[in-house]
Structure 1
Amino acid sequence: MKIQTVLSNREFEVASLLVRGLLKKQVADKLKISVNTVRNHTTSIYEKLTVTSIGELCWLWRSVDNHGNTPKLFTPMMAPKRFERKRRARQYEPIFR
């Protein structure tokens, strides 16, 4: 599967900017489209590439070979766990004076 053939030209532009680390608002400003349009493109990108997060998208994008082919046995479960965001509850000690 080639990423560029699966995605439309605009989706490919949005995905490449998101992978570079731009926020959705920054992508919208750069491409002169609304933030809602960027959200719609992002949802479409996730569905077409069978990813569920920006971390998985980044992993898939970086794993593409020189010919634009993705790994043959790609499944969402192949993405490294380090991209999963988990919020930890911070422990605060009470201050007594």
Structure 2
Amino acid sequence: MKKTELIEAMAVATGESQASSARALEALINIIAKEVAAGGEVAITGFGSFKTSARGERTGRNPRTGEPLTIAASKSVKFVPGATLKTAVSTGAPQ
């Protein structure tokens, strides 16, 4: 499902317009992005949580030459699914 399809599904589920659903989705995405970028965590009970994950500096290899190289430390986003989402995925039915 792509973003536009998600917006359409949200509009049908809530009875709101697609424009209103699009604004709500954009607001949710922006709020999650700001909080996680600031080092916080966003937990949605039953769905899951988003948080920052740090990766340390490590050694890798250049695939072309095989030479060792240093991969810089970085941050990424980690999503941990909640119990309701895990159950829905494993049983194939929404809760």
TM range (shorter): 0.3 to 0.5
TM-score (norm 1): 0.34
Q: If each structure's helix is expressed as a fraction of its own residues, which one has the higher value?
A: 1
Which protein has the bigger strand share?
Answer: 2
Tell me which of the two structures has the higher relative contact order, counting C-alpha pairs closer than 8 angstroms and 6 or more residues apart: 1
TM-score normalised by the chain length of structure 2 = 0.34
